[in-house]
């Protein structure tokens, strides 16, 4: 580690033990959050006595340039961690694409567990596992993004005695993630990015009493392993996270159970895919869009096949049969055109821009709001 960088030992004990500072800072964001995270990293000191963990929604087939962007913007080194890597203060650990980043027994675990809110990596698994491991020594930070990934994780941070910090929605490029947390969690601080950096620096140097966390209110707290580690086996083992529903999982088509935590409604299938209500609506919209485009494709193929059959039967003098095939062509074209217009007009609601924004930022490793940071 760089000279002069302060080290601290990460220990989790109950009772009267007091340790200086917070062990970990967990940060989550999606659309519009690269610029905010870049400014946040620039405001953190070289001798920060805490490790920083960052989750940004990335498509699984992308290459992330975020560690390079963050390392260039500030004084802390940033990297994609390796599986089972030991945690050290003074580093920024960025979840790699297509891997949940978890904190298990004070080490970093990377896993291809079930997607949550349609994402892997997702924000909630990092926040949950950090809260379970370090309890009141966690500072959770949510920045710009659409929908509400991170709200459940922030609930876990608060339930285990940590500090909840949210970017001011008026400053965020996309206010969905900050507003969801503010509406559903007893957030401690709503601040600008500059103020968040100052607060993290101050709190990381203050002593924190380590006591047992409160009784977990989230189903994951009742499980030996977090669902993001290896999924769940609800059908075989239980317990079920709530009453069954008539819904099916947008990811795998499995049965879905509902869980209500305060004013937050969540859904989880028996293999571990998880959704908040907003994310479920967004995922179902994606399923509907896929189904409609599939219908367009099937109708056009039916029309093309019927057109060829009409030509062949007409050449053999079977005019009545050819007319039937021609009717099928026209019917398929009418159906295909109607559905295509429905999709193109936006009447069939498409998923939130969050997903496309993430794809645009991640595939190239760039975003419009991060370009300035890359030039620093």
Q: So which residues are the catalytic ones? A: 30, 57, 149
Rounded distance between C-alpha atoms, residue 129 and residue 131, angstroms: 5
3-state secondary structure of 123: helix
Burial of residue 362 (CB within 10 Å: 0-12, 13-18, 19+) is: buried
Rounded distance between C-alpha atoms, residue 258 and residue 201, angstroms: 39
Q: 180: Cβ–Cβ under 8 A, 6 or more apart, which residues?
A: 147, 148, 150, 151, 276, 278
Rounded distance between C-alpha atoms, residue 338 and residue 146, angstroms: 31
Q: From 144, 180, 138, 121, select the one nearest 38 (Cα to Cα).
A: 144
Q: At 173, phi and psi to the nearest 5?
A: -65, -35
In Å, the largest CA–CA distance within the chain is: 95
Strand order in 107-111's β-sheet? Answer: 85-86, 107-111, 100-104
CA atoms lying within 13 Å on the CB side of residue 183 = 13
């Amino acid at each position: 580690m760089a000279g002069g960088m302060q080290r601290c030992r990460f220990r989790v004990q109950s009772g009267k033990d007091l340790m200086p500072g917070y062990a970990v800072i967990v940060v989550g964001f999606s659309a519009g959050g690269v610029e905010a995270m870049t400014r946040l990293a620039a405001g953190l000191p070289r001798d920060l006595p805490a490790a920083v963990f960052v989750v940004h929604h990335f498509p699984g087939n992308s290459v992330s340039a975020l560690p390079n962007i963050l390392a260039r913007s500030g004084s802390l080194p940033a990297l994609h961690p390796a599986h089972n890597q030991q945690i050290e203060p003074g580093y920024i650990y960025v979840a790699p694409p297509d891997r949940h980043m978890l904190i298990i027994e004070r080490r970093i675990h990377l896993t291809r567990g079930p997607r949550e809110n349609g994402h892997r990596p997702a924000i909630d698994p990092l926040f949950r596992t950090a809260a379970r491991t370090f309890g009141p020594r966690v500072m959770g930070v949510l920045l710009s993004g659409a929908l509400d990934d991170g709200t459940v994780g922030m609930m876990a941070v608060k339930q285990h005695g940590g500090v909840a910090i949210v970017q001011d929605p008026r400053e965020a490029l996309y206010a969905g993630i900050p507003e969801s947390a503010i509406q559903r969690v007893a957030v401690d601080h709503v601040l600008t990015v500059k103020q968040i950096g100052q607060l993290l620096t101050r709190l990381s140097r203050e002593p924190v009493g380590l006591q047992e966390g409160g009784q977990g209110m989230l189903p994951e707290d009742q499980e030996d392993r977090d669902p993001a580690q290896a999924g769940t086996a609800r059908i075989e083992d239980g317990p079920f996270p709530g009453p069954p529903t008539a819904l099916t999982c947008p990811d795998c088509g499995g049965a879905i159970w509902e869980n209500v935590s305060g004013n937050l409604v969540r859904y989880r299938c028996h293999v571990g895919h998880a959704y908040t209500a907003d994310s479920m609506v967004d995922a179902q919209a994606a399923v509907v869009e896929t189904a409609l485009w599939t219908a367009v494709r099937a109708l056009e193929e039916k029309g093309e096949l019927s057109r060829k059959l009409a030509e062949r039967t007409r050449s053999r003098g079977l005019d009545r049969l050819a007319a039937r095939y021609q009717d099928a062509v026209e019917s398929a074209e009418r159906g295909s055109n109607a559905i295509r217009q429905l999709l193109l007009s936006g009447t069939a609601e498409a998923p939130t821009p969050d997903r496309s924004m993430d794809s645009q930022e991640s595939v190239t490793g760039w975003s419009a709001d991060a370009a300035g940071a890359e030039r620093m």
